[in-house]
Structure 1
Amino acid sequence: MKFLPVSFLILALAAAAAFAYDPSPLQDICVATNDLNSGVFVNGKFCKDPKQATADDFLFMGFRNPGNTSNPLGSKVTPAFVDQFPGLNTLGISMARIDFAPGGLNPPHTHPRGTEVLVVVEGTLLVGFVTSNQLNNTLFTKVLYKGDVFVFPIGLIHFQLNIGNTYALAFAGLSSQNPGVITIANAVFGAKPPISADVLTKAFQVDKKVVDYLQAQFWYDNN
């Protein structure tokens, strides 16, 4: 874990470079609160009275322990977005810890409101992203080793797969306090109510039995 300080420095610098995506704050601090009677509504969250803020509002300890990878995907994402880390409110940044069992996958997904920069702390990951139709859905992919960094542009589908025989760990920095996550398979085949089979059979050019099978599966959410 000796790479952790370096990892966090890399993520901090990367996040700072992308700081301008969310609206810039007009105050020093704006700790998020769910108490609607004592706050001012700013950028999706109410702000605690700054005179009531403490150092604990700016501390997140959720990365101390490994995530549970005993699931169908073999991975676990531990987010530090504004919902989990109120001190991020209005600051335009967030983070995530991603744990991988051997063969574990963080499946194809997008962040509609944030660019992601990923640093590998342990293990070997195959990562990649796919461009939009405008650039012919080009795949950019790379194998990352301990200490390597890769960036996934905002809104583009991307993934990470542990191709090593050991546990892997990565940390991500994102250019939004609430970047959002859309897991592609879950959204398409696990939508509630389900998307019409007529739509999916034509879109994926497969038989209705295939669509019925996929819609009947349990689509696990590793976030």
Structure 2
Amino acid sequence: MEQANKDRSLVSKVMDGLVTGIVEEKYGAILPPQDVLSKEFDVSRTVMREALSMLLARDMLDVRPKIGTRIRPMSDWRMIDEDVVNWRFRAKPDPLFLRDVIEFRILIEPRASAQAAARGSAADIAGIREAFEAFRVIRPGEASYQEADELFHTRIVVASGNQFFKQMAAIVRGALSTVNPIVTDKDGLWEGAVSSHQRVLEAIERRDPNEAEIASLALIDFTAGEVGGKFSTEPPTRV
């Protein structure tokens, strides 16, 4: 059992190293042969084969005869997998990815806010209030700012009671980690962010699904405008 746990830990470490190399474009389009990678990571071919198989299962790699192990486009990666989500958000964001991130938030978060207002338990809503109170006293750039913002948004998603939305919490966290550094360096933004978050919270506390959805959408629209002002992106598509 101890050896099995050690092997699993080693496989996870190798996977993480491979992904880092991929997102940093260390390998190009084709991974080196397994024996070369085994030497690079100082592991057995068995461990390397297991690590590669895990990435294959997540649609990140593609093995082709006479070509080798091809790195698939990030758009093909299985984003529903939390590990894949975390790895994908490590890469430097490009305008198309930022557009897709914002469109995802437009699809999920406003509806989740409405459902939190309609379905959330007293404990759920108290947890959202607690997260907001932490967020409102932390300035952008402080170590816990990102964590507090993520907690506020993910607690709303959980409070929606929708099991599929809950599975998307990792993407919401990744989306915030990507866009927050882009939009939090503008004067006056922090005050606006606190006000926007408070509007969502208070609508949920009043059990007003319509206002909660509108407030959440307004919050994301503001972010979209700030991102669009710094990157050449087409406006996000509302559905």
Structure with the higher fraction of residues in helix conformation: 2
TM-score, normalised with respect to structure 2: 0.23
Rg comparison, structure with higher value? 2
TM-score, normalised with respect to structure 1: 0.25
Structure with the higher fraction of residues in strand conformation: 1
